[in-house]
Homo-oligomer: A and B are copies of this chain.
């Protein structure tokens, strides 16, 4: 059945492929803009600032990036320049970030990325990358901090008769880019279920100085419209696609992930025992990955009921919690599902939209709402130091991994902010606990709980020196003596200097990292 008002195609009636596709473009003016991706890519020029849809591999444009990459390659073959500034929601996919990076077509990239080729181009100096909090990147566009946005390229499930966009599997910064851009290109993707309609909740604040309170006081509240209203006169092209999102499978739960999840649940039980949490109405945020999915798997068998997520992305584990009746609502800005779960979501979107809400990332990650709701937040990390500072972005101080994402939006403003991580990486060559983190994304003031397979450290109310023992106990046993040795040395120097707030020996603060650079492992050889 089709959604175009005034047109009814009886179920089972054969339709031509082309007619079926254009069912999804109900606005006459925009139907006239349908063209191929190659034709649409002509609207994107060298030097343009291009804001696209896409968040954790969901809802990104599927064909324009390749077409733009082809333009860049052709220009480069002729010796001409062709690079764009690429703004997204967050990470996209090989057929988006990947193809553009591979064509050396990205001069500047913000805010979050995880594509291997894009990452390499950032680290080899081809592309500039500016890391911003996901709640702020769209706001900066609204505030004019990047200058004029030339083109917005946004995937939609369908276009209504009025010319409104029904968002697909992510909202991200779509609203900000569509509002700000001079030209709009829409990809209408028929792979995305039309029944996603009703899942989105689009709400814009007034421009400064007239911003009002965001009217969300519960994770499940809907405050806006299920569509994005756009200026149809800015639309220069509509392209039809039927390609699926990048949906990466999660690894099966391993023993270590289960241990970490177990410690996290122990921590929650302790909060219940202390009267700071109840089994009913636990409000959560969770980063993406295998360990967070293990936590959600643990919640399935826990005493917690009426769990509510106000988070960034919907993961497999949340779908399981919803199916089990343990989670009553999940608010996010995007899906990040395995292929199996993505198919289920597409088939049963009309069921899931009862309990899932997708919001603009400025709202899903907004400090105002996060602090108001009282979320228990859980994110991953690259490394933490013995005083509780956390590095989420730069490997060995210099190499960008993915970016800070929304982790700081949630960590700074959450009711309790925790980090979960295996104690080591790269087969033991890298310790997650180091003397001094080589980049800081979460300051000691913000980090409340750290959890590894060896337990949890509750840092609340502790001065730096009081945290050290608890944090070293989380390290892999191979690294504990090295960390203790560092702390002893730092303590001795600081006692002499009377600088005992945060004892450090700056000469050896980065000794773990330097050893890794020199020998390939942070361990003593």
Binding site for B on A (CB under 8 A): 108, 110, 120, 122-125, 128-133, 136, 140, 143-147, 208-215, 217, 274-276, 281, 283, 366-368, 371-374, 389, 394-400, 404, 408, 412-413, 415, 438-441, 443-445, 460-466, 490, 494-495, 497-504, 506-507, 509-510, 513-514, 517
Contacts and interface: CB of A to CB of B under 8 A. Distances in A.
Copies in the complex: 2
Q: Pick from A213, A396, A413 the residue with the most CB of B within 10 Å.
A: A213
Nearest to A280: B209
A510 B438 CA distance: 12
Contacts of A210: 217
A506 B510 contact: yes
Contact of A501 (B122, B460, B466, B497): B122
Contacts of A132: 445
A210 B373 CA distance: 8
Contact of A368 (B367, B395, B441, B490): B367
A8 to B, nearest CB: 43
A130 B394 contact: no
B367 A413 contact: yes
Contacts of A367: 367-368, 371, 412-413
Contact of A214 (B213, B274, B440, B497): B213
A440 B438 contact: no
A-B complex: 4 closest residue pairs judged by Cβ atoms: A440-B440, A213-B213, A128-B463, A400-B501
A502 B124 contact: no
Given A438-B506, A507-B514, A500 B124 contact: yes
Contacts of A501: 122-123, 129, 394, 398-400
- Main secondary structure, interface of A, reads loop
Contact of A213 (B215, B275, B438, B490): B215
Nearest to A397: B504
A415 B399 CA distance: 29
A298 to B, nearest CB: 22
A130 B440 contact: no
A395 to B, nearest CB: 8
Nearest to A139: B371
A76 to B, nearest CB: 21
A56 B270 CA distance: 37
Contact of A514 (B140, B461, B463, B506): B506
A340 to B, nearest CB: 34
A123 B500 contact: yes
Given A502-B394, A506-B514, A507-B514, A211 B372 contact: yes
B125 A502 contact: no
9 contacts: A128-B466, A130-B461, A136-B445, A208-B374, A397-B506, A397-B509, A398-B490, A506-B514, A509-B510
Contacts of A506: 396-397, 438, 510, 513-514, 517
B130 A463 contact: yes
Given A144-B276, A283-B209, A444 B131 contact: yes
A504 B438 contact: yes
B214 A398 contact: no
Nearest to A461: B146
Nearest to A109: B463
B125 A495 contact: yes
Given A212-B217, A509-B510, A517-B506, A499 B123 contact: yes
Nearest to A465: B128
A351 to B, nearest CB: 27
A373 B209 contact: yes
Nearest to A123: B498
A500 B125 contact: yes
B499 A443 contact: no
Contacts of A412: 367, 408, 412
A282 to B, nearest CB: 10
